[in-house]
Amino acid sequence: MSQPIFLDIRPGKERILTRAFELAQEDPALAERLMRVQAEARGIRTVEVWVTDACNLRCKGCWFFEHEMDQQSTEIRDLGSIRAFAEQLRDSGITSTLLIGGEPALVLDRIRVFAKTIRNVTVVTNGTRPIPYDGLEDLAIAVSLWGGGPVDDELRGYRPNGRRISGLFESALRTYADDPRAIWVYTLSEAGMPYLERTVEAIANNGNQINFGYYSDYGTDPAARIRNEERVLQEMNRMRETYPDTVVGHPYYFRTLVTGRTHWGTFGAETCPSISNDHPAHAQRLTEGHPIVGRFNAYRSDQSIQYCATTGDCDNCRDSQAVWSWLLVNMHRFLGDLDQLNTWVTLAENFYRQYYWSSYHPARQAPAAPAVGA
């Protein structure tokens, strides 16, 4: 899971927005929705920060450890240095941080530093350690879940010493019961499909949301791919229709996530927008080529800049938030007609719905006015 932002830095952005608003004038309700989405986006500039290299699990196919990302930097532990870094980000205009690891819940003091400094903070966790409310009431929490049912323990139930553990999903359900901050990042796999509905139902009954991701096994070459894509897409859409208050998503996003394709191109190294703007490898990309997430950087635990939001292993990556961002930075691809623009606006609305700090989150919505005479 990476960055929550979608405005693009290419020349011509104003022209694209002008065209979008001109098109939306044919539908006043759509024009109002477009204005609200743009207002939300204008207040967000985001980065990703690896707050620790430590983790209490060794999940099969984890990109962080399969690529030995924990060995590529020397973790900064001094809270003063971490606070100064967070303040530097804030003072440069950053309003949102995604905290990952490793396992951020192992270093709650570092989470608190960012929560006190940056307006919008999202933490990605494996769910084995609780993230308390005290002082962290406005966090968005993304809880990992791989495959569903017994497949989750099969993929994630390993300590660093190799010891097997079980019951990860059930334990995390108890930890985040009725916690509005929590959204499950439910990565789908072929083996987990028989357990899809019972898993979604359990999360719905737990009072949380779900964003579907894609299991890409970094321990294999090539990475695992879902064979029956159409069946998987049918089930994802059925879950969205059956549990509309729980499943965050859109049919266009689901198809892009599973197939890696849109109506204009293919997800990959040349098109992924989730690259660190200040990394020297991307100097040319900033001035020409496909759109990227503006002002985004991913920072390692020593505060140096990482190539992108994950590893740079583009052939095996299908990061869910990078896919969301790819759709949204390519707004100009959805300006052919009113239906296309409506698709883009709906994608954007669903994207922001994931985050507890966003005005689109269900907990932030004003209750409906009672009917006259009720």
**All domains in the chain, ordered by first residue:** 13-363 (3.20.20)
Q: What is the per-residue pLDDT for 189?
A: 87
Dihedral of the alpha carbons of 265, 270, 274, 279, in degrees to the nearest 10: -170
pLDDT in tens, 204-226: 999 999 999 988 765 555 555 67
Q: CB-based burial of residue 349 (10 Å sphere; 0-12 exposed, 13-18 middle, 19+ buried)? A: middle
Q: What is the per-residue pLDDT for 63?
A: 86
Q: What is the per-residue pLDDT for 68?
A: 87
pTM for the full predicted model: 0.93
What is the percent of the chain with per-residue pLDDT over 90, rounded to a whole number? 80
Q: Where does the pLDDT of residue 108 fall: very low under 50, low under 70, confident under 90, or very high at 90 and above?
A: very high
Over residues 77-87, mean pLDDT: 98
Over residues 318-334, mean pLDDT: 94
Here the tokens at position 302 are 């020593």
Res. 367: pLDDT tops 80:
no
Distance CA 96, CA 261 (A): 28
Res. 156: pLDDT tops 50:
yes
Q: What is the per-residue pLDDT for 14?
A: 84
Res. 314: pLDDT tops 90:
no
Res. 84: pLDDT tops 90:
yes
Here the tokens at position 331 are 């707004």
Distance of CA 318 to the CA centre of its chain: 11
365 contact partners, CB below 8 Å, separation of at least 6: none
Here the tokens at position 84 are 């100064």
Q: How many CB atoms lie within 10 A of CB 305?
A: 17
pLDDT in tens, 290-311: 999 999 999 999 999 999 999 8
Q: Over the chain, what is the mean pLDDT?
A: 91
Distance CA 289, CA 134 (A): 45
46 contact partners, CB below 8 Å, separation of at least 6: 3, 4, 5, 94, 95, 96, 97, 98, 120, 293, 296
Structural contact between residues 67 and 218, judged by C-beta atoms closer than 8 angstroms: yes
Here the tokens at position 244 are 């509309």
Res. 7: pLDDT tops 70:
no
